[in-house]
Amino acid sequence: MNKRLQLRLATSKVFEYFIMLLAFLITIPLFAIIYYVLKTGLSKLSWHFITNIPKPVGEIGGGIANALAGSLLIVLVAAVIAVPIGILCGVYLSENRNSKLAYWSRLAVDVMQGTPSIVIGIVIYFWIVKPSGSFSAISGSIALAIMMLPIVIRSTEETLKLLPSSLKEAGLALGLPYHKVILRVIIPCGISGILSGVMLAVARIAGETAPLLFTAFGNPYLTTNVLKPMQSLPLLIFNYATSPYDEWHDLAWGASLILLIWVLLLNITTKLITRKWKVQF
């Protein structure tokens, strides 16, 4: 009997260490990636690097200003499109949990979340790029906005579902019309969760390459015209890393590091915001 007990306790210990080991192992790829990108990219980073556009092959120097500005602009426009729509859809889904429209809408959101990004890119290509006759940053933003939507919608819905219904009643009992209850009570109370969903969605799309391949397309020059092709960090990395030139490989590593820092910062900010702006009941 005692022996059996000891065996069972030993098995428990082994199991405990095993899952601990797995939890430790999953941190390795992240740190390996950060380490490798830091090692190869850090030496390329400089003020010059982020304020200059790439030089032609053969010339020393050059930077990624066009891609950095392009990425920021494309992502910003995508967020401007997706955030209001996403939040309001999320509000609808949390307010009307059992309606038929909510059921279909939720299903559409789930399927959209699983749609491969390259498919979204090609659809936007046929819908916008071909009819308009030109690659453009705005078409890239629309493709990315479609990718953002499901994340924003679902995180808004899940956040608002957790708010107590007494909060809504408090607003209604003060004579607030429904839209003011939503805009001035419900959304402000869920703002930390909603914002963290938005930030995660931005972090998610910042590194997307596939939808931009046949929409924003890329551009070796600095431009802010959203109706023209525009460079972005992932596109630059894709194009330059697959080129045969060492100078371009360097640019790709530097750009990778910038992109990685951007996404890490977004994730850390998200954590801080969720903690700081969390509404206590």
Partner 1 sequence: MESAILSSKNFNAYFGNNHVVKNVSMDIPKNNIVAVMGPSGCGKTTYLRCINRMHELIPGAKVEGKMLLHDKDIYSINPILVRLKIGMVFQRPNPFPNLSIYDNVIAGYKLNGFKIKKSERDSIVENSLIKAALWNEVKDTLHKKGTFLSGGQQQRLCIARAIAMEPEVLLMDEPTSALDPISTSSIEELMHELKKNFTLVIVTHNMQQAARVSDKTAFFFLGELVEYDDTREMFINPKDSRTQNYITGRFS
Task: Enumerate binding residues for partner 1 (CB under 8 A).
Answer: 164, 166-167, 169-177, 180, 184-185, 188-189, 191, 279-281
Quick one: residue 62, left, alpha or beta (phi over 0 = left, psi -120 to 50 = alpha)?
left
Cα–Cα distance measured from residue 54 to residue 77, given in angstroms and rounded to the nearest whole number: 24
Least spacing, CB of residue 98 vs partner 1, in Å: 8
Element holding 201 (H helix, E strand)? helix 191-206
**Is the CB of 45 or the CB of 176 nearer to partner 1?**
176
Question: In angstroms, what CA-CA distances link 245 with 61, 65, 107, 117, 241?
Answer: 13, 19, 46, 29, 9
**Is the CB of 61 or the CB of 188 nearer to partner 1?**
188
Least spacing, CB of residue 270 vs partner 1, in Å: 19
**Is the CB of 16 or the CB of 169 nearer to partner 1?**
169
Least spacing, CB of residue 90 vs partner 1, in Å: 18
Least spacing, CB of residue 252 vs partner 1, in Å: 45
**Is the CB of 189 or the CB of 195 nearer to partner 1?**
189
Environment class of 97 (CB within 10 Å of its CB; exposed 0-12, middle 13-18, buried 19+): exposed
Cα–Cα distance measured from residue 220 to residue 63, given in angstroms and rounded to the nearest whole number: 11
Three-state DSSP at 265 gives helix
Least spacing, CB of residue 92 vs partner 1, in Å: 15
Least spacing, CB of residue 58 vs partner 1, in Å: 58
Pull the structure tokens for residue 269.
Answer: 């900010």
**Is the CB of 196 or the CB of 232 nearer to partner 1?**
196
Least spacing, CB of residue 191 vs partner 1, in Å: 8
Cα–Cα distance measured from residue 160 to residue 123, given in angstroms and rounded to the nearest whole number: 32
Beta strands in the chain (DSSP E): none
Give 3-state DSSP helix, strand, coil % of the chain, rounded to 5: 75, 0, 20
**Is the CB of 172 or the CB of 222 nearer to partner 1?**
172
Cα–Cα distance measured from residue 136 to residue 117, given in angstroms and rounded to the nearest whole number: 17
**Is the CB of 55 or the CB of 180 nearer to partner 1?**
180
